[in-house]
Amino acid sequence: MPNISGLLYIGRNALVTQQKAIDITGNNIANVNTPGYSRQRLNMEQSTPIRDQNTTMSTGVRAQQKVQRFYDQFVTNQLNSENEDLGRWEAQKTALEKIEVLFDEVSGYGLSEAMSGYWGAWQDLSNNPAGHVERTNLLSAAQYLTSTFNQLSTNVSSAQSDIDANVGNIVEDVNRLADQIAELNIKVSQVEVTGFNANDYRDQRDALVFELSKLMDIDTFEDGDGNATIMVGGGKPLVESGVTWDLSTADNGGVQEVYWEDSSGTPQNITPQIESGELKGWLEARDVVINDYMTRLNLLAGSIIQEVNALHNDPGTPSGFGLDGSQNDFFTGTDAGDIAVNSAIVADVNLIAAAGDAAALPGDNSVAISIANLQSGLTMSGGNASFNDYYTSLVGDVGSDVRTANLNYDHQTTMIQHLQNYREEVSGVSLDEEMVNLVKFQHAYNAAAKLITITDEMMDTIISIAN
Amino acid sequence: MRVSNALMADNIQSYLFKQTEGLLKTQEQIASGKRINRLSDDPIGIGQAIGYRNTISNLKQFNENINSAQLHIDTVEEILNAVTELLEDAKDIAADLHSEMRTMLADQVVNIRDQVFQLANSRNNGNYVFAGDLTDTQPFELDTATGAYSYVGDNGTKDHIIGEGLQVSIEADGSQIFQGVADVFDVLNNLEAELRANNATGVTDQLPLLSDVVEGLNSIRAVNAGQSNRLEATENYNNTFKVNISDLLSRVEDTDIVEAVIDLQLQQTAYESTLATAAQIIRPSLIDFLT
């Protein structure tokens, strides 16, 4: 037998359920621009029917306890792993672009110009080996060359120490994110144990994991209680339910390296196990790429010092005599950082050796010619490249490294964009859709209200019959 | 496909960023006049540019060396020309056509000898021209007691780099030039002595010796003239080469303005149409149509 007050319950439940749906629609609309937000939907189902004697009676609608969150775990994982590479290339791009501007070859005032000025000054001296003006010019060309080397070397190594500071900052960020993720783990499991979905906490946690993945490569999975477990550096736990392990940095061989502290607080070096993310980008730029530039710059400066000195002051088969007949090294130092013109020559340009024979002073220019010819001599790369070839290949490599980093960065940005689009397709809020839903739920709400009015009227009718 | 509002906004934003980036890059190329503004713009191109710039500065330097060598050869030529003229005068005297004037002619020979001595000790830019490598030493010395002339320079040559691995060596050994085939000072000394001794055969005997000296000078001058031609040819070649290389350099690193302006125009059109369509897409929503 149908029950008239049951009708009121149906109306009431319908009102409450539609209102809740409007609530959730409102929440979706409000979060249309919230990054990481996944749209939610109230799933409705029929209430449990009542068996009454021989018939079954429906009892209207009810909302499921768990609010559905539109979400694609696969896209999220992919986004995280692509974000690691984005971070890596972004860091390398930033680091290398700083180096790129140091090699000022585009305007034609870089080391290449300094070198060719230096060799040219030797040729000038060969034209007039006794000339004081030529000697002074050669000295200033040589000083320009050494100061260009020194400056380049200082700037490149200060770029390396800037990276050290960045590594420290990133490690601090990783620790902060790990703490926040652990807190959210606790909140998610607290909510979900009661049978609800912790949609908002999960969104927040996913956003943090996404942020973390840009900093370093992580392995992440969810345990049965909804806790996100995060591993770093080849299987070392960073977050496990509500517990975190700290990362730290410490000096190792003059550079800051990354350490993971086990539960007893003993640090273990995980630098070689970091394979992606901004950390990897900075570390790779500092330890591999920029280090290689530095080595090659030092080798170039070292070879110039060695080759010039060997001709300028050869005590074996005495050669290279200053105007006063003395023999002196032209350069002192061993690499780009400390290359300098011999202070004795700075004090007296007559010590510059143009002559190869003490008996043929001052007109002999054989040493000046030999040194000037070093410019085109194949002295580098095992006798296959001139100084300039060697330097040009260094500059070319800097350029193509920056280019590679840029291309990879652009590629990763596009990848992320595509994946974000996929994610948005599933999780993003469409205002049009929400408006349609809003109208839909409003109509249902109005109709349910009407149902109650009519039931009320029906009851009135019944009561009036009784009267 | 579901299209969310954030997706639409993000995509429009990223397209606009890409297009403004392209516009900025083209604008930079036009404004700087350079196609390569940082190493990564064209790593291979920058390598070529450095090579070309280096070649150009080398060629400039080689031409400076050539000028310096040319100047030296010109100086030597002027001196040797003057010496030759003096010796031609001496040859006239040695022909002994005016036997009655032998004493006067002997004075003239002394004069010639002094001038040749002076010329052989010429300096260019403060350096002795015919002293070999000992450019700060006067090459010929006169022992006033004996009247003998001696060479105190060495056998050095004046060397110049005129190209990669190329050198010219200009003869600077005074003893080779003035005392090679026959010693010019000895011949002139003898000529003076024979004139004063009024010895007709002795005077004419000096004639072939003087010719030998002039011959020797001429052969040196011929070698110098050959080198001078070589220098000039090298300089011309270097200049042409420099123009070609400058052209290549410009092609590698300079902006092709026409191309860049067309690119800019295309990019601008694309940018403006994106702006226009974006404005059309973002604005309306269902809300506008619900009453």
B12-22: per-residue pLDDT in tens?
999 999 999 99
**CB proximity A433 to B under 8 Å:** yes
**CB proximity A350 to B under 8 Å:** no
Nearest to B127 among A112, A130, A364 (CB): A130
Tell me the per-residue pLDDT of B43-62, one tens digit each, with 9 for 90 and over: 999 999 999 999 999 999 99
Kindly determine whether residue A126 and residue B161, on different chains, have CB atoms separated by under 8 Å: yes
Kindly determine whether residue A399 and residue B43, on different chains, have CB atoms separated by under 8 Å: yes
Kindly determine whether residue B68 and residue A359, on different chains, have CB atoms separated by under 8 Å: no
Q: What is the mean pLDDT of residues A325-336?
A: 94
Nearest to B38 among A100, A116, A124 (CB): A100
Structure tokens at A178: 């790990």
**CB proximity A417 to B under 8 Å:** yes
The C-alpha of B33 sits at a distance from chain A's nearest C-alpha, in angstroms, of 11
Q: What is the mean pLDDT of residues B126-151?
A: 90
Q: Give CA–CA dist B77/B82, Å, rounded.
A: 8
pLDDT of residue A142: 96
DSSP-derived secondary structure letter, B143: E
Mean pLDDT for all residues in chain A = 92
Structure tokens at A146: 């050494």
Euclidean distance between the first and final Cα of chain A, in Å? 23
DSSP-derived secondary structure letter, B131: B
Strand partners, B123: B128
Q: Pick from B12, B18, B54, B73 the residue to mutate for testing the A interface (most A CBs within 10 Å).
A: B54
What are the chain B neighbours of A101 within 8 Å (beta carbons)?
38
Kindly determine whether residue B53 and residue A369, on different chains, have CB atoms separated by under 8 Å: no
Q: Give CA–CA dist B68/B33, Å, rounded.
A: 36
| pLDDT of B207 over the 70 cut | yes
Nearest to A364 among B36, B125, B156 (CB): B156
Chain A with chain B: Cβ pairs closer than 8 A: 181
**CB proximity A112 to B under 8 Å:** yes
The C-alpha of B73 sits at a distance from chain A's nearest C-alpha, in angstroms, of 13
| pLDDT of A56 over the 90 cut | no
Q: What is the mean pLDDT of residues B119-144?
A: 91
**Chain mean position to CA A417:** 16
pLDDT of residue A1: 46
| pLDDT of B1 over the 90 cut | no
Nearest to A425 among B2, B34, B46 (CB): B2
pLDDT of residue A3: 75
Q: Do β-strands A228-232 and A218-222 pair in parallel, antiparallel, or remain unpaired? A: antiparallel
Q: Give CA–CA dist A95/A297, Å, rounded.
A: 18
Q: Give CA–CA dist A464/B179, Å, rounded.
A: 156
Kindly determine whether residue A363 and residue B156, on different chains, have CB atoms separated by under 8 Å: yes
Q: Quick one: angle between helices A111-127 and A387-427, nearest 10? A: 170
Structure tokens at A197: 């979905």
Q: Give CA–CA dist A118/A331, Å, rounded.
A: 13
CA dihedral over A269, A274, A277, A282, signed as positive or negative:
positive
Residue A362: asked if its preceding bond is cis (omega within 30°), the reply is: yes
Q: How confident is the model at residue A27 (pLDDT cuts 50, 70, 90)?
A: very high
The C-alpha of B5 sits at a distance from chain A's nearest C-alpha, in angstroms, of 5
> A466 or B203, which is more confident?
B203
DSSP per residue, B82-115: HHHHHHHHHHHHHTT--GGGHHHHHHHHHHHHHH
Q: What is the mean pLDDT of residues A4-30?
A: 92
Tell me the per-residue pLDDT of A375-390, one tens digit each, with 9 for 90 and over: 999 999 888 999 999 9
Q: Pick from B46, B50, B173 the residue to mutate for testing the A interface (most A CBs within 10 Å).
A: B50
What are the chain B neighbours of A366 within 8 Å (beta carbons)?
159
Q: How many Cβ atoms from other residues are within 10 Å of residue A167's Cβ?
A: 21
Judged by CB atoms within 8 Å, which residues 36-55 of A form the interface with B? Answer: 39
pLDDT of residue B95: 86
Q: Pick from B129, B133, B285 the residue to mutate for testing the A interface (most A CBs within 10 Å).
A: B133
The SS3 of residue A467 is: coil
Residue B154, Cβ density class (10 Å: 0-12 exposed, 13-18 middle, ≥19 buried): buried
The C-alpha of B7 sits at a distance from chain A's nearest C-alpha, in angstroms, of 6
pLDDT of residue B45: 92
Q: Give CA–CA dist B186/A291, Å, rounded.
A: 72
pLDDT of residue A2: 62
> A56 or B66, which is more confident?
B66
pLDDT of residue A317: 85
> B283 or B117, which is more confident?
B117
The percent of residues in chain B predicted with pLDDT above 90, rounded, is: 67
What are the chain A neighbours of B154 within 8 Å (beta carbons)?
359-360
Q: Give CA–CA dist A444/B155, Å, rounded.
A: 117
**CB proximity A442 to B under 8 Å:** no
What are the chain A neighbours of B7 within 8 Å (beta carbons)?
420-421, 424-425, 428
So what's the ipTM on this one? 0.86
The percent of residues in chain A predicted with pLDDT above 70, rounded, is: 100
**Can you give the length of chain A in residues?**
467
The SS3 of residue A240 is: strand
Residue B171 backbone phi and psi in degrees, to 5? -60, 125
Q: Decide if B36 contacts A103 (C-beta within 8 A).
A: no
Nearest to B10 among A126, A365, A420 (CB): A420
The percent of residues in chain A predicted with pLDDT above 90, rounded, is: 79
| pLDDT of A158 over the 90 cut | yes
Tell me the per-residue pLDDT of A443-461, one tens digit each, with 9 for 90 and over: 999 999 999 999 999 999 9
Tell me the per-residue pLDDT of A223-268, one tens digit each, with 9 for 90 and over: 888 899 999 988 899 999 899 999 999 998 888 999 999 888 899 9
Mean pLDDT for all residues in chain B = 91
| pLDDT of A220 over the 50 cut | yes
What are the chain B neighbours of A421 within 8 Å (beta carbons)?
7, 10-11
